[in-house]
Structure 1
């Protein structure tokens, strides 16, 4: 039996709607005598990253833990982290245009992301706060992708059962988690498949 066409879209932020230029982040590391990607690798250490996105610690507390692990004097480390955090990425124009197209066709769009308490401010800074109908933040709902609880809450917030929701993410684990929770899910690798996604949402052509 064919699946029902999706009536709502849940889309990931980092790596999909927001893209990051590595150059300014690496420049901070080089300026502070750190190896390239040292700050990112430290921040993504699971023992401090997981509580930051699970709503157990704040973004500021997470960044303090990052600073404490750098091979620098603590004040220098805090300054390096603050400098690194100043760059907040930018919206991907093709993905943003797609989100607007989906909403213009009468479909709801939700941002579904593992994030910290800094998310809402970032969305304002990036001009994205008004571009989606719903924001599903792991920090706020105290559950993170790929947990089934995340997708249950996301579907509840966007107002559709899982079988009527299309989820887009660049992380295989999140895609598998969404499918296990009953959503249609697509692994994002770039805008080359936007036509396929338009069909999946039954958007009007042209």
Structure 2
């Protein structure tokens, strides 16, 4: 059994939403994801998907995208991204597919790990950070603690959609919480295009490993986490 991750699938089987504004490598990107996924992931494995799963605006419209994910091998643990407007109650979503479970103010167990997380938000920065951003940022910090407090396991992996810092890679409320709770790994996405990859924290920082998993950064190939 292995744990993999790939974020920002940006599926759009029910709506026309091309992603090639971020580069030609996004053309037919779902085919690349499926080929890579099936080449390495088995039904015994688990895949983390940290947000921006579907462009659909309602759960009904998102079902075709979720069905596509469901048919891929392995168990999937999903988190909400900033474009997942179709996201609804955990009870409703968790009742859809046996292979899929959703994280929101809770945790999911994987072997001896707890998979926790929240969407996250923009971190305070010099470019644009409004009072409205501050409110959402504070709310997401609270939701992160709710998720972490829901488990008593010592080994913790966090999924978040947004990067854990600003573009200058400065400490944030998120990084401080990760260090306080002795989080082992943080899996995140959101960043697209070569110009953005260096604005996300990667590698070991204060004993926490940060892994960027937006699918274009991974060349649409799920990365092994454990």
User: Could you tell me the TM-score, scaled by structure 2's length?
Assistant: 0.32
User: Could you tell me the TM-score, scaled by structure 1's length?
Assistant: 0.35
More strand by share: 2
More helix by share: 1
